[in-house]
Structure 1
Amino acid sequence: MGMVVAVEYVTLDGVFEEPAWSGPYFNDELGNWQAANLREADALLLGRKTYEGFKAAWPQMEAETGDFGVKMNSMPKHVATTTLATPEWNATFLQGEVAGAVAKLKSEPGTLLVNGSASLVNYLTKHNLIDEYRIMIYPVVQGEGRKLWDDGTKIALELTDSWKTTTGVEVITYVPA
């Protein structure tokens, strides 16, 4: 049985979008943790916007990111989209209703890693399809911007791990309670 793991960057006030605010706090600790997340993943599960952003950026970053970039570029990607027609960058587009397609992917062995993709994370949360949430909470308050969780999203979680980087980023892992 497979699992879906969401790995997300958020500010202390829950802002998710345009994470340029993370730069001053990102260090080797987080880099190594992110590399471990990617190493254990068998495929990426992405929303359309994140897929398009990653597809534009990662092929040019492989030389500077080494094994991480090679894995990012070569691994399979499953993309939730109703607007794109031609999959590229080792992608397949989820067919039919997204919840059913993800449930089918989860019926097979392997770990699906979700990065970014707030709309997809909210959708999958509402359908009880995320098995683990790994959230990096940065010591920044943005005061405005899209939050990771949509208004009305409700889920009870159980903390399974937490640690803090030397730059003050809290890394927390939750599973549905």
Structure 2
Amino acid sequence: MSKIVVTEFVSLDGVFEDPHLWHFPFFNDAAGQYKGDELQDTAALLLGRKTYEGFADAWPKMSGDEFSDKFNSMPKHVVSTTLENAEWNNSHIISGDVAAALADLKRQYDQDIYIHGSGDLANSLIQLGMIDEIRLMVHPVVVGKGRRFFSDGTSIDALKLIDVTTFDSGVVLLTLQPSTQDATADTGA
């Protein structure tokens, strides 16, 4: 059974909006290799409508490399009550019982299902306890304004730190697991 994994670029002050404006100076070969490997381990994308529309406008224009070819060909599941047509290759709309649909998707795939962007969707699923893992590539920059990944009102009882990876560019990858258990349980504190 697959996991639902949120993977995001964020600044030190938590901004994830418009990463193309601030993350490229820190995106080196090692980070590119990581993101490429991550994508190869992905069975499908899970997107909110706004992110889907942006991706569907941009990605089909890119092809000819392993990353964009995989991104364009893989299954894409869009959670939306307003989107009527999902015309980007291999796209499917989820508009009914989201929890049941996601449970079915997790059983359907052997590899994980990734959420990129889609802050509203990610925050809603975090609140519902439906996210299995959160991967934040924290960039050494303070953006100062813009939408933060964890929106106001989002609360998580505890996050368990699973792994930390550092890149020479200063980016730190935090791999976290939402948990309802006390975060100090393993330390005896």
- Normalising by structure 1, report the TM-score: 0.94
AA in 2 matched with 1:39: Q
In structure 1, give the amino acid aligned to 2:78: V
Contact persistence 1:122–1:149 (CA under 8 A): yes
By how many angstroms is 1:14 displaced?
A: 0.4
1:110-149 CA-partner distances (Å, limit 9, x unpaired): 3111101000100110111111111100111112211101
> 1:8-157 alignment to 2 at 5 Å?
8-19=8-19, 20-63=21-64, 66-89=65-88, 90-110=90-110, 111-155=112-156, 156-157=158-159
2 CA distance for matches of 1:103 and 1:122?
A: 18
Per-residue deviation at 1:55? 1.0
Percent identity of paired positions between Structure 1 and Structure 2: 48
Q: CA deviation at 1:93?
A: 0.2
More helix by share: 1
Query: Which of 152, 160, 163 matches 1:161?
Result: 163
Deviation at 1:2?
2.1
Contact 1:103–1:129 at 8 Å: present in 2 too? no
Aligned residues of 2:43 and 2:109 also touching (Cα < 8 A): no
Q: Secondary structure at the match of 1:107?
A: helix
Runs of 5+ in structure 1 lacking a partner? Answer: none
Q: Which runs of 5+ in 2 are unaligned?
A: 180-189
Partner amino acid for 2:77? H
Q: What residue in structure 1 maps to residue 185 of structure 2? A: none
1:97, distance to aligned residue in structure 2 (A): 2.9
* Alpha carbons 1:95, 1:101 under 8 Å: kept: no
- Map Cα deviations across residues 64-121 of structure 1 (whole Å, 9 max, x no partner): xx11111100000000112211121210000303233222322333311110100010
Contact 2:9/2:16 (CA < 8 Å) preserved in 1? yes
Note the alpha carbon deviations across 1:33-77, whole angstroms, 9 max, x for none: 1111110111100111111111111111213xx111111000000
Identify which range, 88-97 or 3-12, moves more after superposition: 88-97
Name the aligned partner's letter for residue 173 of structure 1. T
Larger Rg: 2
Normalization by structure 2: what TM-score? 0.88
Match of 1:170 among 169, 172, 189: 172
In 2, the alpha carbon distance for the partners of 1:109 and 1:86 equals: 24
What residue identity is the alignment partner of 2:105?
A: L
Count of aligned positions? 175
Q: Name the CA distance, whole Å, in 2 between partners of 1:95 and 1:118.
A: 17
